[in-house]
């Protein structure tokens, strides 16, 4: 589905938008800066933001008057064929007015939104009212090839002409069209790539399945479709075996042709067998073991066998504050079907829908968690693995990539694996205090759970000797009481007592505290597991700020200060 954008200008509009979003979770709420709280995104210029969504083809519901919306879009209304659905909704939810996008489903959307808001949609398209269903907006398993002829076609029908229908068009049965075998107008439903004639609408039903195995390229596939005369819009999916799902070429081919990919768990690697899993009694079956095309009589005769390509996204939430979470991570959380993570982080990620499955895990056994995530994703699910901060910094991403490295399961290698970054604790704490990591720095974990303590000591000593600024993660815990005092001792052998130290605790969370002290004053008692310690280099400076705290920075130069 295309993304639905709710443009909100007022607090009342926000209430209505939230009612819509509760029933339509894919919607994204855009709120006017300074007027609206709790939106997914903030904008400052209504017209520009609206036009950008329009150009990107997003469905838009503006919670304001139709006039404001029309005036904002007027300068760019040229290409009727490409326009996305645009509606105006009264900010109190009392009226839903479809404005644009008759051929892209605005009336369908208007009905859905009206149902949510419990009002009647203000549908004004005469063809739509007269025929009871939108001829130009068939169900998803039919594609209108020539929407540009639609307006004229409906005008002719309204003027009294009759229409002949060829091919199964079940959605038109209740349309009260003026059907006549000898009609001057023509509706043709066919999987073949025919050229629409005058006074004709052509619909392609989704009835063809292409199976591929071996080394089949996008060009081979296009050539085979051309030979068979099949319209791409009639293809339900490109089907492959699980064995082949790790081959990037198939994913690229599917993406290039914009075809959904289906993966069959059975170990079939004969294309003809693959397509038979989708269509039991094809009206036509052509091809060979590498590439086969089967066609069913109607869309209802196609079984959607196998599963989609699964996705595993390893995401970083940032330190806590949702404003520090990158938009790609927010989108990933929306699309997730399964969410895996340590309870604290799952709670930090926000609220989930009832259809999203949450797998709370404990904080140990990372490899086991990683394998569980791959198993879910390899079955076609959209899985999100949550870390705080950045997933690649002492968190799950490394375990996930390692689990993949260790596996020779093609289904795991076929998963769409994405690692999405987040603001790591050191960077969040640094930004709160100025720029203590403004020059070369290194990040160290003081936990010796997964590495020997003598390596940690060696790294601290060498990093201190090399005069790096440092960030210490996992600085102390009950089972590891003596390690931090030892680390402080090593630091003191290399750095002066006045070296600035930043202690950032719960940064970006409600209990946030930030303290700037000196190395001389640093004791283990001031630190816990929720603290990140930033240690200055020999050049790191600190000075008073007006709010009583201190600024800290490490200059970009080294040695002698350059002349400005
Ligand atoms: N992936 C995380 C780090 C996980 S290790 C990241 O990139 O931030 C856990 C350690 O990170 C904690 O012991 C603490 O030292 C630090 N940490 C994580 N979140 C923090 C926060 N919000 N404030 C201060 N320190 C934090």
3-state secondary structure 446-473: CCCCCCCHHHHHHHHHHHHHCCCEEEEE
Q: Among residues 32, 38, 24, 34, which one has the least CA distance to residue 62?
A: 32
Indicate the DSSP class of residue 84: P
In the chain, the percentage of residues whose pLDDT exceeds 70 is 97
* Per-residue confidence band for 158, with pLDDT thresholds at 50, 70 and 90: confident
Together in a domain, 383 and 297: no
What was the pLDDT predicted at 126? 67
Mean pLDDT estimate for the chain = 92
What was the pLDDT predicted at 145? 96
**Residue from 425, 432, 472, 509 to probe ligand 1 pocket by mutation (most atoms less than 8 Å from CB):** 425
Residue ranges making up the domain that contains 193: 142-205
Q: Are 424 and 441 in contact (CB under 8 A)?
A: no
Instruction: Encode pLDDT of 230-287 as tens digits.
Output: 999 999 999 999 989 988 888 888 998 899 999 998 776 799 999 999 999 999 999 8
Specify the residue for token string 């079940």: 170
Of all protein residues, whose CA lies closest to atom 6 belonging to ligand 1? 389
- Tell whether ligand 1 has an atom less than 6 A from the beta carbon of residue 387: yes
Token pair recorded at residue 121: 């949609």
- Tell whether ligand 1 has an atom less than 6 A from the beta carbon of residue 58: no
Together in a domain, 11 and 107: yes
* Per-residue confidence band for 564, with pLDDT thresholds at 50, 70 and 90: confident
Mean pLDDT confidence for 427-454: 96
547, part of any domain: yes
Of all protein residues, whose CA lies closest to atom 13 belonging to ligand 1? 474
H or E, element range at 429:
helix 425-433
Together in a domain, 263 and 212: yes
- Pick from 308, 326, 359: which residue ends a domain? 308
Together in a domain, 28 and 108: yes
Together in a domain, 302 and 318: no
Together in a domain, 11 and 117: yes
β-sheet with 41-43: strand ranges across = 41-43, 28-32, 4-8, 59-63, 86-89, 96-100
Answer whether residue 102 shows pLDDT above 80. Answer: no
Instruction: Encode pLDDT of 318-334 as tens digits.
Output: 999 999 999 999 999 99
Of all protein residues, whose CA lies closest to atom 26 belonging to ligand 1? 425
CATH of the domain at 281: 3.30.420
- Tell whether ligand 1 has an atom less than 6 A from the beta carbon of residue 554: no
Q: Where are the beta strands (DSSP E) in 440-556?
A: 441-445, 469-473, 500-505, 513-518, 531-535, 541-544, 550-553
Together in a domain, 99 and 19: yes
- Tell whether ligand 1 has an atom less than 6 A from the beta carbon of residue 508: yes
CA distances to 64, 159, 394 from 166, in Å:
44, 22, 63
- Tell whether ligand 1 has an atom less than 6 A from the beta carbon of residue 395: yes
Mean pLDDT confidence for 178-189: 94
Separation of CA 470 and ligand 1 centre (Å): 14
Reported as half-sphere exposure (CB side, CA atoms, 13 A), residue 269 has a value of 9
Together in a domain, 303 and 320: no
Domain count, the chain: 5
450, part of any domain: yes
- Tell whether ligand 1 has an atom less than 6 A from the beta carbon of residue 101: no
- Pick from 188, 205, 222: which residue ends a domain? 205
- Tell whether ligand 1 has an atom less than 6 A from the beta carbon of residue 193: no
- Tell whether ligand 1 has an atom less than 6 A from the beta carbon of residue 480: no
CA distances to 20, 126, 131, 335 from 120, in Å:
15, 16, 18, 30
129, part of any domain: no
Instruction: Encode pLDDT of 360-372 as tens digits.
Output: 887 668 899 999 9
Together in a domain, 257 and 343: no
61, part of any domain: yes
Separation of CA 332 and ligand 1 centre (Å): 22
461, part of any domain: yes
Helix-strand-coil split of the chain, %, nearest 5: 35, 25, 40
CA distances to 24, 345, 438 from 349, in Å:
20, 6, 29
- Tell whether ligand 1 has an atom less than 6 A from the beta carbon of residue 473: yes
131, part of any domain: no
Q: Which atom of ligand 1 is nearest to the CA of 506?
A: 23
- Tell whether ligand 1 has an atom less than 6 A from the beta carbon of residue 536: no
Answer whether residue 551 shows pLDDT above 90. Answer: yes
Q: Are 424 and 393 in contact (CB under 8 A)?
A: yes
- Tell whether ligand 1 has an atom less than 6 A from the beta carbon of residue 432: no
- Tell whether ligand 1 has an atom less than 6 A from the beta carbon of residue 421: no
- Tell whether ligand 1 has an atom less than 6 A from the beta carbon of residue 532: yes
Comparing 450 with 433, the larger pLDDT belongs to 433
Together in a domain, 71 and 32: yes
* Per-residue confidence band for 130, with pLDDT thresholds at 50, 70 and 90: low
- Pick from 124, 158, 187: which residue ends a domain? 124
Specify the range with the lowest mean pLDDT, choosing from 182-196, 345-359, 421-435, 539-553.
Answer: 345-359
Separation of CA 546 and ligand 1 centre (Å): 28
Residue 501's DSSP bridge partners are 517, 535
With a threshold of 0.85, does the pTM exceed it?
no
110, part of any domain: yes
Indicate the DSSP class of residue 354: T
Separation of CA 382 and ligand 1 centre (Å): 26
- Tell whether ligand 1 has an atom less than 6 A from the beta carbon of residue 529: yes
Mean pLDDT confidence for 399-408: 97
What was the pLDDT predicted at 388? 96
**Residue from 532, 533, 534, 535 to probe ligand 1 pocket by mutation (most atoms less than 8 Å from CB):** 532
| Distinct helix (H) and strand (E) counts, the chain | 17, 28
Together in a domain, 109 and 34: yes
Answer whether residue 203 shows pLDDT above 80. Answer: yes
Separation of CA 473 and ligand 1 centre (Å): 6
Q: Which atom of ligand 1 is nearest to the CA of 319?
A: 22
Answer whether residue 1 shows pLDDT above 50. Answer: no
Instruction: Encode pLDDT of 444-490 as tens digits.
Output: 999 998 899 999 999 999 999 999 999 999 999 999 999 999 999 99
- Tell whether ligand 1 has an atom less than 6 A from the beta carbon of residue 184: no
- Tell whether ligand 1 has an atom less than 6 A from the beta carbon of residue 504: yes
Comparing 209 with 133, the larger pLDDT belongs to 209
Comparing 170 with 441, the larger pLDDT belongs to 441
Q: What are phi and psi of 391, to 5 degrees?
A: -70, -15
- Tell whether ligand 1 has an atom less than 6 A from the beta carbon of residue 320: yes
Question: What burial letters (b/e) apply to 291-301, b meaning 16+ CB within 10 Å?
Answer: bbbbbbebbee
Separation of CA 530 and ligand 1 centre (Å): 7
562, part of any domain: no
Specify the residue for token string 């009871």: 132
Answer whether residue 80 shows pLDDT above 70. Answer: no
Together in a domain, 389 and 481: no
What was the pLDDT predicted at 129? 61
């Amino acid at each position: 589905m295309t993304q639905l954008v709710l443009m909100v200008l007022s607090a009342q509009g926000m209430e209505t938008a939230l009612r819509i979003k509760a029933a339509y979770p894919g919607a994204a709420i855009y709120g006017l800066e300074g007027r609206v709280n709790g939106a997914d995104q903030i904008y400052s210029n209504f017209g520009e933001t609206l036009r950008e969504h329009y150009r990107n083809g997003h469905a838009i519901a503006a919670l304001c008057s139709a006039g404001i919306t029309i005036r904002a879009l007027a300068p760019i209304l040229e290409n009727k064929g490409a326009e996305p659905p645009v509606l105006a909704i009264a900010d109190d939810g009392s009226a839903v007015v479809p404005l644009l996008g008759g051929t892209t489903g605005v009336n369908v959307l208007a009905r859905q939104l009206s149902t949510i808001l419990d009002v009647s949609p203000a549908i004004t398209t005469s063809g739509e009212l007269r025929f009871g269903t939108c001829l130009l907006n068939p169900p998803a398993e039919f594609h209108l090839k020539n929407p540009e002829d639609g307006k004229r076609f409906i005008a002719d029908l309204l003027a009294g002409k009759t229409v002949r229908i060829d091919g199964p068009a079940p959605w038109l049965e209740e349309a009260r069209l003026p059907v006549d075998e000898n009609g001057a107008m023509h509706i043709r439903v066919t999987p073949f790539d025919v050229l629409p004639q005058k006074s004709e609408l052509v619909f392609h039903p989704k009835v063809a399945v292409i199976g591929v195995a071996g080394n089949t390229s996008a060009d081979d596939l296009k050539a085979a479709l051309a030979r068979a005369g099949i319209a791409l819009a009639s293809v339900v999916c490109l089907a492959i075996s699980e064995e082949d799902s790790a081959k990037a070429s198939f994913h690229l081919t599917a993406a290039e042709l914009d075809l959904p990919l289906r993966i069959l768990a059975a170990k079939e690697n004969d294309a003809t067998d693959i397509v038979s899993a989708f269509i039991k009694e094809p009206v036509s079956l052509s091809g060979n073991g590498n590439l086969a095309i089967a066609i069913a009589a109607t869309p209802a005769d196609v079984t959607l066998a196998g599963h989609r390509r699964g996705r595993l996204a390893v995401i970083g939430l940032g330190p806590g504050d949702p404003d520090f979470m990158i938009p790609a991570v927010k989108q990933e959380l929306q699309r997730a079907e399964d969410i895996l993570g340590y309870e604290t982080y799952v709670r930090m990620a926000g609220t989930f829908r009832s259809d999203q499955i949450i797998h709370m895990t404990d904080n140990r056994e990372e490899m086991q968690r990683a394998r569980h995530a791959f198993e879910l994703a390899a079955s076609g699910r959209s899985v999100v693995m949550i870390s705080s901060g950045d997933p690649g910094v002492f968190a799950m991403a490394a375990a996930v990539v390692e689990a993949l490295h260790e596996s020779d399961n093609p289904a795991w290698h076929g998963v769409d694996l994405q690692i999405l970054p987040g603001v790591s604790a050191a960077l969040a704490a640094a930004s709160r205090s100025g720029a203590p990591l403004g020059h070369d720095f290194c990040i160290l974990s003081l936990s010796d759970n997964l590495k020997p303590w003598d390596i940690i000591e060696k790294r601290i000593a060498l990093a201190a000797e090399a005069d790096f600024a440092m960030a210490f993660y996992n600085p102390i815990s009950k089972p590891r009481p003596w390690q931090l005092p030892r680390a402080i001792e090593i630091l003191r052998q290399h750095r002066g007592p006045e070296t600035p130290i930043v202690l950032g605790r719960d940064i970006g969370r409600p209990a946030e505290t930030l303290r700037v002290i000196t190395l001389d004053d640093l004791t283990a008692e001031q630190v816990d597991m929720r603290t990140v310690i930033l240690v200055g280099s020999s050049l790191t400076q600190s000075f008073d700020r007006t709010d009583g705290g201190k600024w800290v920075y490490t200059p970009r130069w080294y040695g002698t200060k350059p002349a400005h």
